[in-house]
Amino acid sequence: MSAATTRSRTPRTPRIPAPDRLCVEAVELARASAEEAAFPGVVGEHVSAVAEGDRVVTHFFECKEPGYRGWRWAVTVTRASRAKNVTLDETVLLPGDDALLAPEWVPWSERLRPGDMGPGDLLPTDAEDLRLEQGWSGEDAPPPNSVVSTEMAELVEAEDADVTDRTVVPVRGSITSVAEELGMRRARVLSRYGLHSAADRWDESFGAKTPMAQAAPASCVSCGFLVAIGGSLGQAFGVCANEFSPADGRLVSLSYGCGGHSEAAVMPAPPRPAPPVLDSMAADEFQLHPAAPAADTGSVPPADLRSEDLGHS
C-alpha cells in the first residue's frame, strides 16, 4: 500500500473557520436588522458572535418578547472576498438551550382519557380498532378465539386441569353439572322481586332515560363493546367494555348508549395544528417606490416632466 493511498483513507478533521474581523465588528448593523424585524424594545443585549463559514458570522441578541423566554435573535452577516463592506444575510428568531418551547402536538385520540366523555359527545371508532373484531359471519367453524371453538375448549380444559380438583367436579351431563353451570347450586338465589328491584336500580343509573343515552347516536344493544350476561337479566342488560365510556365495567341497559358506540362514526384524519401566532418565517411585502400621483391632483403632467440625463451619448 502506497503512502498516497494511506493518506487518502485517513479521515480529515473538518476545518473550523476563523471569525472574520469585519463581520464580528458589525454588531450595530446586526442590531439594526433585528430591531427592524422585531417589535420595538424586544431586542436585548448582544450575546455572542459565531463563525458560520469563511467571512460569515451570526450575531445573537437576547429576545425580550413575552412568551419567548430563552429565544435569541440571530442575524447573519457576510462580506465578499477582498471587500470591506459587510452585508446582511438573514434575520431569524431561534430557540436557545433553555428556550420555552411548545410541547409536541398529540392527536386527540391519544389525549382522551376515561371520564372525558359527556352527553352529546361522539367518540369515533377506528375501523382497525384492536378491541373489536368481526361478528358471526355465518360459517360453521367458529373463529379461533371464540368461546365455543375447539382450540379454546382444549385450552380451558388444560388450564382447569392444573388448578381444579377433578374429584369435586360434577360429572358432565348430570343434573348437578347443569345446575352448577346455571348458578343454582347456591343455598338461595335472587327472587323475582330481587331481580326487578336490581333492574330498576341499574336502569336508573345506566338506562334509556339518562342524559347520556338521550344524546347517544345508538343504543348498547348494537354496540360491539357490550359483553352479554347470562340469565334472565341478560335479556335487558349487559356489561360495557369500552374504557373511554363513563359506564366502563358497569352493568348497562341494552337501551342505554353513549358517544363511544363502536359504530358511531369513522375515525377522521387528525387535524393539522393551528398556525403560529407570530409568523417569523414569511416575508412581508413593502413598496419600494411611492405611488404615482393621480392626474387630477394638480401635479405636473407626465408629458411635461424633463427626462433625467442618464449619461448616455
pLDDT value of position 167: 43
pLDDT value of position 7: 54
| Torsion sign, CA atoms 279, 283, 289, 292 | negative
Tell me: the pLDDT tens digits for 40-74?
888 999 999 999 888 899 999 999 888 888 899 99
- Tell me if 30 sits within 8 A of 59, measured CB to CB: yes
Greatest mean pLDDT among 151-165, 184-198, 285-299 lies in 184-198
The angle formed by the CA atoms of residues 134, 137 and 141, to the nearest 5 degrees, is: 110
* 226-228 and 237-240 strand pairing: antiparallel
Strand partners, 59: 49, 75
pLDDT surpassing 50 at residue 173: yes
Distance, CA of 10 to chain centre: 46
Percent of the chain predicted with pLDDT > 90: 22
More confident residue, 15 or 226: 226
As a whole number of angstroms, the distance between CA 50 and CA 20 comes to 10
More confident residue, 171 or 162: 171
Mean pLDDT of 6-25: 72
DSSP secondary structure, 19-63, as one string: PPHHHHH-HHHHHHHHHHHS-TT-EEEEEEEEEEETTEEEEEEEE
Enumerate residues 6+ apart whose C-beta is below 8 A from 240: 206, 220, 225, 226, 227, 247, 248, 249, 250, 252
pLDDT surpassing 90 at residue 183: no
pLDDT surpassing 70 at residue 192: yes
More confident residue, 161 or 49: 49
3-state helix, strand, coil in the chain (%, to 5): 25, 15, 60
pLDDT value of position 165: 42
Strands, E assignment, the chain: 43-53, 56-63, 71-78, 87-95, 226-228, 237-240, 251-253
- Residue 310's pLDDT band, with cuts at 50, 70 and 90, is low
Stated length of the chain: 313
- Tell me if 71 sits within 8 A of 65, measured CB to CB: yes
- Tell me if 37 sits within 8 A of 55, measured CB to CB: no
More confident residue, 125 or 51: 51
CA distances from 154 to 136, 140, 165 (A): 21, 18, 17
Quick one: 83 exposed, middle or buried, by C-beta within 10 A (0-12, 13-18, 19+)? exposed
Q: Cell 375515525: give the residue.
A: 267
